[in-house]
C-alpha cells in the first residue's frame, strides 16, 4: 500500500503553498492530499481545522501527516482521531496542553520581538506584506521578510499574494489535548528560518518533544524554496517508517 502524504498548511496559507512538493511526490508515485483549512471562517477553531483534515483523508490508510508552522497545533488533533503512521513537523509550532497559540510565543521565549510581531500579524490578518509595525518586511523576498526571503522575487510576490485572511479564533483558544499523541514524530527545521530561528526551534523540539530535530537549508517556506529536497526528506521518512 502506497504512503499518502497529507500536507497541512500553516496560518493564512492554503494548498497552493504546498503545490511544488505535492507535484514532486505525486510524480514519484505517492498519494498526496493537500488540505485547505477554514482559516477565514471566524466560527472555526482548531477542532474544525482537524475536522477538515479528517474529512480530506477519509478512507485512506498509511498516512504521513506533514504539518507546517501553525499546523503544529492542528496535526496532533488529527492523530488522535485517525490512524497515522508518522507525523512530520516542518518549521512548526509545538504546543503544550492547555496552551493557546497566542500564548505560545512568550511561553517558548521566542527571541525576536519584530519577527514575532510579523508572525502574529500574518496569523491575524493574513497579510504577508505591510504588517503594521514591521515596515521593513513590506517587500516579499527582501532581506527583512521573515517568510519568503530565500525565494525568487516573482515566486515570493505570488506567495505573499496568496496569503489568506486568518481568523483570530484558533489562536485565542487553549490547545485541547492532554498530551502529545502516541505517534512517531519527526521534526525538520530550516537553518535560515527568520520566523523561527534554528537555535530557538532546536530548544523547542528538545524541551517539548524530547527530540533532536533534523535540519535542512532554507527559510520558513522550504516547500517553495527547496521543494525537491523537502520531497526527498519526506520520502525518506516514509520509507523508514514503512520498514519498521
Given pLDDT bands bounded at 50, 70 and 90, which one contains residue 123?
Answer: very low
pLDDT at 121: 58
pLDDT at 29: 96
What is the C-alpha to C-alpha distance for residues 88 and 12, in angstroms, rounded to an integer?
20
Spell out the domains of the chain, with CATH numbers in brackets. 4-242 (3.40.50.1820)
pLDDT at 225: 98
Q: Which three cell numbers stand for residue 109?
A: 521565549
Q: Which residues does 34 contact at the CB level (< 8 Å), separation at least 6?
A: 7, 15, 18, 19, 22
pLDDT at 137: 47
pLDDT at 140: 72
Q: What is the mean pLDDT of residues 46-68?
A: 97
Neighbours of 241 (CB within 10 A): 16
Range in 140-144, 185-189, 231-235 with the lowest mean pLDDT: 140-144
Judged by phi (left if over 0) then psi (alpha if -120 to 50, else beta), residue 109 lies in: left
Q: What is the mean pLDDT of residues 133-143?
A: 52
Amino acid at each position: 500500500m502506497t504512503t499518502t502524504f497529507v500536507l497541512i498548511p500553516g496560518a493564512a496559507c492554503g494548498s497552493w503553498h504546498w503545490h511544488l512538493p505535492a507535484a514532486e511526490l505525486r510524480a514519484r508515485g505517492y498519494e498526496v492530499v493537500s488540505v485547505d483549512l477554514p482559516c477565514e471562517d471566524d466560527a472555526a477553531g482548531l477542532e474544525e481545522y482537524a475536522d477538515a483534515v479528517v474529512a480530506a483523508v477519509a478512507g485512506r490508510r498509511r498516512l504521513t501527516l506533514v504539518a507546517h508552522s501553525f499546523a503544529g497545533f492542528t496535526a496532533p488533533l488529527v492523530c488522535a482521531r485517525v490512524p497515522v503512521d508518522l507525523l512530520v513537523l516542518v518549521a512548526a509550532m509545538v504546543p503544550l496542553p492547555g496552551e493557546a497559540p497566542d500564548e505560545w510565543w512568550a511561553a517558548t521565549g521566542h527571541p525576536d520581538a519584530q519577527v514575532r510581531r510579523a508572525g502574529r500579524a500574518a496569523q491575524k490578518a493574513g497579510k504577508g506584506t505591510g504588517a503594521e509595525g514591521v515596515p521593513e518586511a513590506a517587500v516579499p523576498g527582501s532581506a527583512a521578510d521573515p517568510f519568503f526571503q530565500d525565494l525568487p522575487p516573482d515566486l515570493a510576490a505570488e506567495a505573499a499574494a496568496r496569503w489568506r485572511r486568518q481568523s483570530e479564533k484558533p489562536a485565542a483558544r487553549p490547545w485541547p489535548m492532554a498530551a502529545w499523541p502516541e505517534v512517531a514524530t519527526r521534526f525538520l527545521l530550516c537553518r535560515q528560518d527568520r520566523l523561527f530561528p534554528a537555535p530557538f526551534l532546536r530548544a523547542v523540539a528538545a524541551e517539548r518533544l524530547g527530540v533532536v530535530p533534523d535540519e535542512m537549508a532554507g527559510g520558513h517556506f522550504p516547500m517553495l524554496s527547496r521543494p525537491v529536497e523537502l520531497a526527498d526528506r519526506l520520502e525518506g521518512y516514509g520509507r523508514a517508517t514503512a520498514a519498521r
